[in-house]
């Protein structure tokens, strides 16, 4: 496929660990997605400031926080598919990733027409890991991801939730999960 015709896959790393489990799973997914043009972005490295809850954005005014969030909004709009990989931190997201999600509040306040344009049901994949062996550990983060994807115009298409990445069996479990991540990436590749 000519480079100019390749649709954009936005790959978001939500872990502050550059070479951790989620980073590896994200790489496996992206590699298997083949011909998509990929923009990979580490959310913690963007150092996005937290939402102050001032509702300035509700008045259609620019956010009072000045950072690289507008760049992210541009990527959300350009992307044809999204994959987010983030670990469970106390049932939720790492703080740096939660800050990005909260800063999506202006998208709630968009004019309905604009909102309809954003809600294109583009595919969104979610990858997450945790130390505990209990699958219930993902309950909150998965719900939050659904709301996040919905807000920025993606459909929660499929998830890969990997518990038990601690202790003796961790390496084995991660290897199995890497295979699953590749399967999901190939599934996205078939959408081209
Ligand atoms: C601050 C912090 C909080 C965590 N909270 C939980 C938790 O609530 N439940 C859990 O099972 N694991 C928890 N973990 C473990 C991580 O989810 C787990 O190690 C994950 O696989 C790390 O992924 P990464 O290597 O991609 O960063 C926590 C880790 C940290 C550093």
Total domain count for the chain?
A: 1
What separation in Å is there between the alpha carbon of 89 and the centre of ligand 1?
A: 5
pTM of the model: 0.96
- How many residues are recorded in the chain? 192
Closest by CA to 144, choosing from 86, 187, 184, is 86
The 10 Å Cβ neighbour count of residue 141 is 24
What separation in Å is there between the alpha carbon of 50 and the centre of ligand 1?
A: 21
Q: How far apart are CA 36 and CA 186, in angstroms?
A: 11
What separation in Å is there between the alpha carbon of 2 and the centre of ligand 1?
A: 40
Q: How far apart are CA 48 and CA 103, in angstroms?
A: 8
CATH at residue 136: 3.40.50.360
Q: Which domain holds residue 153?
A: 3-189
Q: How far apart are CA 75 and CA 53, in angstroms?
A: 24
189: burial class by Cβ within 10 Å (0-12, 13-18, 19+)? middle
Show the ligand 1 pocket: residues with CB < 6 angstroms: 15, 17, 20-23, 87-91, 129-132, 137, 165
pLDDT in tens, the chain (192 residues): 777 789 999 999 999 999 999 999 999 999 999 999 999 999 999 999 999 999 999 998 999 999 999 999 999 999 999 999 999 999 999 999 999 999 999 987 886 556 666 556 799 999 999 999 999 999 999 999 999 998 999 999 999 999 999 988 999 999 999 999 999 999 999 998
- 169: tokens are 């069996």
């Amino acid at each position: 496929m000519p480079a100019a015709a390749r649709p954009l896959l936005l790959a978001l790393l939500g872990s502050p660990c550059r070479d951790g489990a989620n980073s590896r799973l994200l790489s496996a997914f992206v590699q298997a997605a083949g011909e998509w043009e990929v923009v990979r972005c580490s959310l913690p490295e963007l150092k996005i400031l937290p939402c102050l809850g001032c509702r300035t954005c509700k008045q259609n005014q620019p956010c009072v926080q000045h950072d690289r969030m507008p760049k992210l909004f541009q990527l959300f709009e350009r992307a044809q598919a999204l994959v987010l990989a983030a670990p469970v931190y106390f049932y939720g997201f790492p703080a740096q990733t939660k800050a990005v999600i909260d800063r999506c509040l202006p998208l709630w306040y968009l004019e309905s027409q604009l909102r309809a344009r954003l809600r294109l049901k583009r595919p969104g994949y979610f990858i997450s890991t945790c130390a505990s062996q209990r699958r219930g550990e993902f309950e909150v983060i998965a719900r939050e991801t659904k709301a996040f994807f919905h807000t920025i115009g993606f459909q929660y298409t499929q998830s890969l939730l990997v518990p038990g990445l601690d202790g003796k069996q961790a390496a084995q479990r991660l290897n199995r999960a890497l295979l699953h991540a590749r399967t999901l990436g190939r599934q996205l590749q078939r959408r081209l």
